[in-house]
Amino acid sequence: MTQREMTARDWAVDVAVMLLAFAFGCVQLMLTASSIIIPDLALRQYLGMVNVVPDLQVFVGLAMTVVPLVLRRRFPLPVFAACLVIFLGLQLKFSGFSMTVVGPLVALYTVAVECGTVPGVVCGVLAVLSLLFGDAPMQAASMVFFTRFQNIALMVAAVLAGYAYRTHAAYVHEVEQRAAEAERTREEEAARRVEEERVRIAREVHDITAHSLSAVSIQL
């Protein structure tokens, strides 16, 4: 759990991210389950890819891998764990279907952004090991290698992207803080100069008044 104060806009953004992730997963699922990408039926059978339209169960399973993203900035670590575990489990249940890794991917990116470098790296290593040694949905060794390599590369990229965004955000925040501090310093300096000018004028008025009173006293 983070200390982030979530506004209505923040929640709306996270819901939109979840919906986009689900839409992306649906498109990938439909494309890989059809003969559009690999039209040769014998090759698809060799690779262990099904050639049927995914049923409702598959789409529900896909939704389960991305729905936790709604809470990703409030509970980044639990959301990452949930997305990864659900993804790994459903790969076995729906063998032959290419389940997208977008849920764990976005969750890992969020951990790197919200929790810092060390938690991001630790979660990234766990994700890589899970994908490397976990069971793959395809049967052919070449397809297994390609899928694992692709997913692991995406996980590494998510950690690096999260680290880059966090570093950039920290730099921007520091620049804004320095600008605000410089503005406060300028305002304080201006106020000090105004006060000094007021004191100088008051002294001059006092000196003139005292001189005038002395002159009047002498004349009397």
Query: Which domain, by its residues, includes 118?
Result: 8-173
Q: Classify residue 70 by its DSSP letter.
A: G
- Mean of pLDDT over the chain: 80
What CA–CA distances, in Å, run from 27 to 49, 54, 59, 116? 16, 11, 11, 32
Residue 202 domain-assigned (yes or no): no
DSSP letter for each residue of 181-211: HHHHHHHHHHHHHHHHHHHHHHHHHHHHHHH
The three-class DSSP label of residue 134 is coil
The three-class DSSP label of residue 139 is coil
Counting the structural domains of the chain, the total is: 1
Residue 194 domain-assigned (yes or no): no
In terms of residues, how long is the chain?
220
Residue 15 domain-assigned (yes or no): yes
Residue range 161-218, pLDDT digits in tens: 999 999 998 888 888 888 878 778 787 777 778 777 787 787 777 667 766 666 666 6
Residue 197 domain-assigned (yes or no): no
CB 10 within 8 A of CB 73: yes
Nearest Cα neighbor of 18 from 53, 55, 65 is 65
Residue 191 domain-assigned (yes or no): no
Residue 185 domain-assigned (yes or no): no
Residue range 74-117, pLDDT digits in tens: 999 999 999 999 998 887 777 666 678 899 999 999 999 999 88
What CA–CA distances, in Å, run from 123 to 12, 27, 120, 176? 26, 27, 5, 31
Residue 200 domain-assigned (yes or no): no
